Structure 1
Amino acid sequence: MILLSCCVTLFLYEVTLKSLAVLLPTLKDQFETYTWVIGTMISLLTSVRDLTGPIVGILASNINNRVLGMLGGIVIGVSTVCASFGYSVYVLSLLLSVINGISFALLLVPGYALLAQYFDTHYSLAIGIVYASASLGLMAAPPVAQLLLDTYGWRGTLLIIGGINCHLILSGSLLRHQQQVDSSITATESLQNTYSPLSHTSDDCEAFGWQSNSLKSSTFDRINAFMKFSGLDLFANLSFLATSVISTSMTALFTGWIVYFIPHCLAKGLTPFEAAFLATASGFSNLIGHVIYVPLLSNNLISLRGGLYFSGIVATVALLADRYTSTVTTVFISNMMLLLAIGIEYPLCDVYMKSIVEPNSLAKAYGWRMGLSGLVRIIPGFVLGWIYDHTGNYDAGFTFLGAIQAVGVLAIAADHMRLKIAGETIS
């Protein structure tokens, strides 16, 4: 049931996001504004969702996840329907970006954490299935959203999407409260687990010459308890930081691609039908990436870090080569490579993070990783729109996305070198 909940939630999230991207040119003309304004509004949905992650991670560890999920589903359905009656960009931003972003976090953060807890031995397969549902959303959204737009206009399209999103209430009802696992046992059983929980007992204090009831010990214990409660102790794990950087760079470039790929195709002179076809084909390539990584990883044909290296480099090359594509064929090849790489990279980040974080901290780990992503997700929405408004094309913008992905590759390479120098096990 948890797997089904995650699949439905991520599918409808991608449908909502990609549908808004299809509506971008229409909304720009409707409200007589700049491209970067609508692009920033759409990317704000992903940014707010991720920035809310750390708070939701703490809530999910202490509050019934089913309540959080159902609340998020109700709010998403109602706010999307209300957005169909919006009369300004500010109203749409509040309803579609801020409110929906927070609500999607209420569903996704607990879902990811529960998935990692309940699928301890088959997690790579489970997360692959979840991300495959996101690919199906990417495939389905462009043609359906374009059909709804041509038939009912942008207001009717949002009204229908809002009705569909009400299914998220049922998705939230499938969540459960997180299990509390004995970290002393699971930390040794977890695959290549390098996470060391911060703990400080009265015996430790006495070993350092402190009294357990002293002011210094009391202050240290309170700080330690706060770090543990908030999940800030995760940042002492440098491998967690490296994984967060590559995940952040990947989600940022993917947000830019989702929001601006169809306008990018139109700017290259392709027809709306060709642009929708290429978006659907790219979604299929993304689905293939989510599927093939499981046997590759299970049969030890690739390592976690090797897969991250390969997918990151391929994505970077595809984005840097984008400015030299101008026909349907070349755009097709370039974006098939890009989305295939992203399809492999996304689940690998989750599998790798699960191997370095103790089970009781997974919700907070996902929350903080999403929070870091939220800080940069909004940047592509603004930058690519601003570049188009000043140059008339997105070529430089997609080169910028390639540079973002290169930062993630450098982060995982730096952590690889650190572990090699320290003589630690490299996965």
Structure 2
Amino acid sequence: MVPIDRGWAWVIVLVNFIIVSLIIGSASSFGLFFAEFMTEFQAPASSITIALSIQTIAFSISSLFALNIGRHFASNRTYVILSGIFACLAYGVSAVIPDVSYLILSIGVLFGIAHGFSYGPGLVELGRYFHKKRGIATSLAEMGVSCGGLVFPPVIRLLLDSYDLRGALIVIGGILLNLCVAGALMRPIAFYEHQQKDSEHDDGIWSTNSEMYSSGNIKDKAVYRNTMKNWASSQPDTHKNEYKENINAEDKVNGSSSCLGNMKQSLSSNRKGVVRNMCKKVIDIKVLRNALFRMWIPVCFLGVIGSVQILIFIPPHAKDLNISDGDIILLVIIVGVTNLISKLLMTLFVYCNCMSKHHMIAISMIITGVACLFINFYTDFLTMTILSAIFGVFGNVYFGLFPALLVDFVGLEMISGAMAINMLMQGLGLSISNPILGFLRDITGSFNASFYLMGITCIISGSILCFEPVCRKIEMRKSEGVSVESVVTHL
């Protein structure tokens, strides 16, 4: 029996907790390595941000592959195990590179693939194991983001002080190999389904097969073939293929060449249909007809810039202000602590239905953007703690609520297509903004202009959500029009 909402399902929660702790914790703490790479290679900020742009592109492409086309070739467990190998290689290669341009391959391509192969497949497997308790399970798993943000900064600082940059990168790469352990624990839910089907299969169908064929009755054989055909139509593709192979072998014995020709024709048409369906599953453009989702596209494109980049740029900006390394670690830890508190409060707000999700995202984005516009006033450790606390409380509300908000906008039927386009727009926003933010630092000599840009994008993103009532009215009119047309058609 499949352990839905019980048993091994809670191990899957632990697996997802480990995944987000390692992947997102290390990614959000990369700002500490950012400053070290600039010092080690005497490199401009733009050269490092280009690698981060490539990382977002690799993340978007690998996520789409693993969640859509790639699921036909390997299980989610396989992709998570592969992510541990790619993540270890990313940091291992970074430890031996002779020039900062090689970060495009290591931190850009390899770590981007690791991120895409781990985060999405883990959440998908979690959703399969939980039905009634899915919200609680997801919240517990996402706590790993805050825990990773609290643990990684002091660990990285300790490693940098003890083993220098290259030694710290090697150790972090070894830590990320624990993703392979998490993947090994991710038992696919198909494991239980196959067990159940195999037991039914052994007790029923095959025993009937032996009885029918032992009698030598041709009529019984036809009955068996029809029974197997009906059974195979309800099974996965692997069992369908087994059935087709058995029928092919029997037809060869009976000399039925016409049956083989028809089967080849049906197989070729099935292949074309599979390819067509897979292409449709990658991106479902029907969701673009939804006015609420069309409004959401610029929100996710602009909002992700501030929600992700501010934490990455806080450590190098603090270093430009001559804040000590120990105090920089405290700034990152403050972000993690306030982020954890924010997640608890956000869960309470959503549970009590005190405020709509789009209002919570809009307000948090505007507050974060305004805080960035006052970057000139953050000149020492004490004032930088204000920025860290504000970002920790409001900066990640977007990531905590956007999956549920998308369901409210487009419905469960179109959520896959909406999520795919959302991921593409987020990757596009980050890949475009990363080199621009680095270039602004190079030409101005400080990160102030970069924070101005991030603040403006956050304010615009939050302001667009104020048009949600207008777009919802448009969708309501569409639905009313469709319902009227259906009534007229029935009449």
Same fold per TM (> 0.5)?
yes
Is 1:134 aligned with 2:155? no
Whole-Å separation in 2 of the counterparts to 1:61 and 1:279: 36
Distance 1:287 1:329, change over 3 A: same
Whole-Å separation in 1 of the counterparts to 2:359 and 2:460: 16
Please give the residue correspondences for 1:87-166 in structure 2 after superposition, counting only pairs within 5 Å: 87-166=98-177
Partner of 1:385: 438
Aligned residues of 1:323 and 1:399 also touching (Cα < 8 A): no
Q: Percent identity?
A: 22
Partner of 2:21: 11
Q: In the TM superposition, what is the alpha-carbon distance from 1:37 to its structure 2 partner?
A: 0.8
Q: In the TM superposition, what is the alpha-carbon distance from 1:381 to its structure 2 partner?
A: 2.6
Partner of 1:20: 30
Whole-Å separation in 1 of the counterparts to 2:292 and 2:12: 28
Whole-Å separation in 1 of the counterparts to 2:424 and 2:97: 28
Aligned residues of 2:295 and 2:471 also touching (Cα < 8 A): no
Aligned counterpart for 2:64 among listed residues 54, 60, 63: 54
Instruction: List structure 1 runs of 4+ shifted beyond 6 angstroms.
Output: 221-225
Q: In the TM superposition, what is the alpha-carbon distance from 1:113 to its structure 2 partner?
A: 3.0
Partner of 1:249: 302
Partner of 2:331: 278
Structure 1 unaligned regions, length at least 5: 180-218
Whole-Å separation in 2 of the counterparts to 1:242 and 1:52: 26
Partner of 2:254: none
Q: In the TM superposition, what is the alpha-carbon distance from 1:233 to its structure 2 partner?
A: 3.2
Whole-Å separation in 1 of the counterparts to 2:37 and 2:48: 7
Structure 2 unaligned regions, length at least 5: 1-10, 191-271, 479-491
Give the greater-gyration-radius structure (CA).
Answer: 2
Whole-Å separation in 2 of the counterparts to 1:244 and 1:10: 25
Whole-Å separation in 1 of the counterparts to 2:120 and 2:13: 13
Calculate the aligned-residue CA RMSD, in Å. 3.0
Higher helix share: 2
CA offsets 1:384-416 (integer angstroms, 9 cap, x no match): 222222222211211100111123223322333
Distance 1:66 1:422, change over 3 A: closer
- Tell me which moved more, 231-240 or 392-401: 231-240
Distance 1:60 1:224, change over 3 A: closer
Partner of 2:287: 234
Whole-Å separation in 2 of the counterparts to 1:248 and 1:8: 28
Whole-Å separation in 2 of the counterparts to 1:113 and 1:367: 13
Amino acid at match of 2:150: M
Partner of 1:197: none
Aligned residues of 2:283 and 2:421 also touching (Cα < 8 A): no
Distance 1:354 1:110, change over 3 A: farther
Aligned residues: 386
Q: In the TM superposition, what is the alpha-carbon distance from 1:116 to its structure 2 partner?
A: 4.1
Distance 1:113 1:167, change over 3 A: same
Partner SS state of residue 93, structure 1: helix
Amino acid at match of 2:158: L
Aligned residues of 1:234 and 1:240 also touching (Cα < 8 A): yes
Aligned counterpart for 1:325 among listed residues 373, 378, 384: 378
Distance 1:343 1:29, change over 3 A: closer
Q: In the TM superposition, what is the alpha-carbon distance from 1:323 to its structure 2 partner?
A: 2.6
TM-score (norm 1): 0.81
Partner SS state of residue 52, structure 1: helix
Higher relative contact order (CA 8 A, sep 6+): 1
Partner of 1:216: none
Aligned residues of 1:47 and 1:376 also touching (Cα < 8 A): no
Q: In the TM superposition, what is the alpha-carbon distance from 1:157 to its structure 2 partner?
A: 0.6
